[in-house]
Amino acid sequence: MLEAFVSKDVSIPAGKWGTVGDCDAPYWLLEDMMKNIAANHKDIDYILISGDLESHADWDYSKEGHMAKVQNITDVMKKFLPGKPAYFAIGNHEGVPIDNFGPHFTPAKFHMDWLYGKMVDEWQDWVPADQKTQVIYNGCYMKQLFPGLRLVSLNNAMGDSNNFYLFINQTDPDGTMTWFLEQLEDAERNGDKVHVVAHIPGGGGEALEGWAINYYNAVNRFEDTIVAQFFGHTHSEEYNVVYEDPENAQSRPTGIVYSAPSLTTYSEFNPAYRIYTIDGNYPGSSFRVIDFEEYFLNLTVANANPDSPTKWETLYSSAKTEYGLTEISASEWNNLIGRMLNDDTLFNKYRKNKYRRSDMSCGQQCKLDELCSIRQAHHSDALCSDLQKIANEKGYKLKMKNDLLSNKMKSVTNVVVKSKAEAYDLIQKTVLPSQDKCKI
Ligand SMILES: [Zn+2]
């Protein structure tokens, strides 16, 4: 049942199609987007959903509500795009409480069978039967999409810094990273390529460095096998470059992590979706991303005419053309960082696309922070040392990701905590910068 009410404290009511701000998307916006995709992109082969099916009203989460959402979103996919498979990754918002997914070293009441079991039931048309046990165990699966191409759905909640169970023991929860490496090794042995669909990019504040660096190293080790990585979580469209040396951005770029745009407006975005073109499907396909295009809804326009049909617009029809890339490759995306550094017009285009809005101003300091963030597919300030030098010359300091959580978390990687008291102590020392502010 949908409950709707208007609080008397609301000073600016949301528009019919949603509002750019701390608001989530209305349900009819999802249906409208799906209708638009069905009408205009009949040639898509499959859908990737990188997680977070829930709203941001995380105080109101319940297991029942989350299970209903899994079912509902699955039904929406089938209704609007019948016959097109949809492959999901698990987002941090799928946890109840948010971000919390109990691995099997925790008591059974914290395990995730209720969620993963529901997913298996709902996704049985799309997830192979032999992967059912894996999904129920740790929310991961592998699907052979075409001869020569495998899709690996990796549950990044097992490396989520807000997954408090990981403060008890973050050593490869439920063997998830081991499972991932085995998938890659098996694909390599069989000469298959791999696409990864996952949720939290490794450089963000919600990624544990222990998890992020293992993933990063895997991308490097299996550089010839992992040919695409599709993430989400950020709501903004972003990308991160992976380098051969995890501490040196002058080393060879080996991979790209794409963070796709979100439907939700929360908090600064116009709704959008992306369509990738992949090389295939023929014998010897590289299965690499050849290009991608993106579509968005201008909410100012849509809400000004709430009774008229929406008009989803092309944000850009070719990422290659949009950014002047000679090809879609890690080295070209890396070169773009350098080009944006010296070209404000190009950088402003990236910012506009990131938010799907043209009014997001970003000065020189903000620009250096933004470019640094692209470099950080895991938490290393060394990857931005040249940008920090430029910032120093201009008299400001880059927002380093190591400042709060990540550097401190490095020191607790693989720590096993044996008692509640020890866990509290660890949290005080690592996550909470000031014990005065937040005593447990
Ligand atoms: Zn998320």
Output the CA angle 71-73-77, nearest 5 degrees.
Answer: 115
What percentage of the chain carries pLDDT values higher than 90?
Answer: 85
> Can you spell out the DSSP letters for 333-364?
HHHHHHHHHT-HHHHHHHHHHHHT-S-----H
Amino acid at the residue 101: F
Neighbours of ion ligand 1 (CB under 5 A): 52, 91-92, 233
Calculate how far, in angstroms, residue 53's C-alpha sits from the geometric centre of ligand 1: 9
How far apart are alpha carbons 191 and 237 in whole angstroms? 31
- 27-362 belongs to CATH 3.60.21: yes
How does residue 283 score in pLDDT terms, banded at 50, 70 and 90? very high
Phi-psi label, residue 280: left if phi above 0, alpha if psi -120 to 50, beta otherwise: left
How far apart are alpha carbons 293 and 320 in whole angstroms? 9
418 compared with 222, residue with greater pLDDT: 222
Is 399 strand, coil or helix? Answer: coil
Range of lowest pLDDT (12-16, 26-30, 161-165): 12-16
Beta strands of 341-432 (E only): which ranges?
A: none
Q: What is the pLDDT of residues 216-251, one digit of tens each?
A: 999 999 999 999 999 999 999 999 999 999 999 999
Q: What is the pLDDT of residues 174-206, one digit of tens each?
A: 999 999 999 999 999 999 999 999 999 999 989
Amino acid at the residue 376: Q
| Residue 4 in this model has a pLDDT that exceeds 80 | no
Angle between helices 364-375 and 344-355 (to 10 degrees): 70
What percentage of the chain carries pLDDT values higher than 70?
Answer: 90
How far apart are alpha carbons 106 and 165 in whole angstroms? 8
The per-residue pLDDT for 8 is 77
Beta strands of 250-357 (E only): which ranges?
A: 253-259, 272-278, 289-296, 313-316
User: If you ran DSSP here, which 8-state letter would residue 278 be given?
Assistant: E
Q: What is the pLDDT of residues 293-324, one digit of tens each?
A: 999 999 999 999 999 999 999 999 999 999 99
Nearest of 268, 270, 269, 217 to residue 242 by alpha carbon: 217
Calculate how far, in angstroms, residue 57's C-alpha sits from the geometric centre of ligand 1: 13
Per-residue CA distances from 232 to 236, 317, 386 (Å): 8, 20, 28
Range picked from 288-292, 393-397, 402-406 for highest mean pLDDT: 288-292
Q: Confirm if 51 and 281 have CB atoms less than 8 A apart.
A: no
Calculate how far, in angstroms, residue 330's C-alpha sits from the geometric centre of ligand 1: 24
Calculate how far, in angstroms, residue 52's C-alpha sits from the geometric centre of ligand 1: 5
Calculate how far, in angstroms, residue 161's C-alpha sits from the geometric centre of ligand 1: 12
- DSSP element (H, E) containing 33: helix 27-40
How does residue 437 score in pLDDT terms, banded at 50, 70 and 90? very low
Calculate how far, in angstroms, residue 91's C-alpha sits from the geometric centre of ligand 1: 5
Calculate how far, in angstroms, residue 93's C-alpha sits from the geometric centre of ligand 1: 6
How far apart are alpha carbons 100 and 414 in whole angstroms? 18
The per-residue pLDDT for 411 is 45
Phi-psi label, residue 379: left if phi above 0, alpha if psi -120 to 50, beta otherwise: beta
How far apart are alpha carbons 158 and 176 in whole angstroms? 7
pTM score: 0.91
> Can you spell out the DSSP letters for 154-201?
--GGGGBTT-GGGGTB-SSGGGHHHHHHHHHHHHHHTT-EEEEE-SS-
Separation of first and last alpha carbons in the chain: 37
Calculate how far, in angstroms, residue 62's C-alpha sits from the geometric centre of ligand 1: 17
Calculate how far, in angstroms, residue 90's C-alpha sits from the geometric centre of ligand 1: 9
| Residue 408 in this model has a pLDDT that exceeds 90 | no
How does residue 5 score in pLDDT terms, banded at 50, 70 and 90? low
| Residue 409 in this model has a pLDDT that exceeds 90 | no
Q: Confirm if 353 and 316 have CB atoms less than 8 A apart.
A: yes
Residues in the chain: 440
Is 372 strand, coil or helix? Answer: helix
Q: What is the pLDDT of residues 360-389, one digit of tens each?
A: 889 999 999 999 999 999 999 999 999 999
Widest Cα–Cα separation across the chain: 62
Calculate how far, in angstroms, residue 405's C-alpha sits from the geometric centre of ligand 1: 18
Is 76 strand, coil or helix? Answer: helix
Calculate how far, in angstroms, residue 124's C-alpha sits from the geometric centre of ligand 1: 24
Q: Please state the rounded mean pLDDT for residues 80-93.
A: 98
How does residue 280 score in pLDDT terms, banded at 50, 70 and 90? very high
Is 42 strand, coil or helix? Answer: coil
The per-residue pLDDT for 127 is 98
Task: Report domain extents, the chain.
Answer: 27-362
Calculate how far, in angstroms, residue 283's C-alpha sits from the geometric centre of ligand 1: 36
The per-residue pLDDT for 153 is 98
Calculate how far, in angstroms, residue 138's C-alpha sits from the geometric centre of ligand 1: 17
The per-residue pLDDT for 432 is 42
Calculate how far, in angstroms, residue 160's C-alpha sits from the geometric centre of ligand 1: 10
Calculate how far, in angstroms, residue 433's C-alpha sits from the geometric centre of ligand 1: 23
Q: What is the pLDDT of residues 50-62, one digit of tens each?
A: 999 999 999 999 9
How does residue 338 score in pLDDT terms, banded at 50, 70 and 90? very high
Cis peptide before 267 (omega within 30 of 0): yes
Q: Confirm if 52 and 93 have CB atoms less than 8 A apart.
A: yes
Edge-to-edge strands, sheet with 193-197: 141-146, 149-153, 193-197, 226-231, 253-259, 238-243
Q: What is the pLDDT of residues 101-152, one digit of tens each?
A: 999 999 999 999 999 999 999 999 999 999 999 999 999 999 999 999 999 9
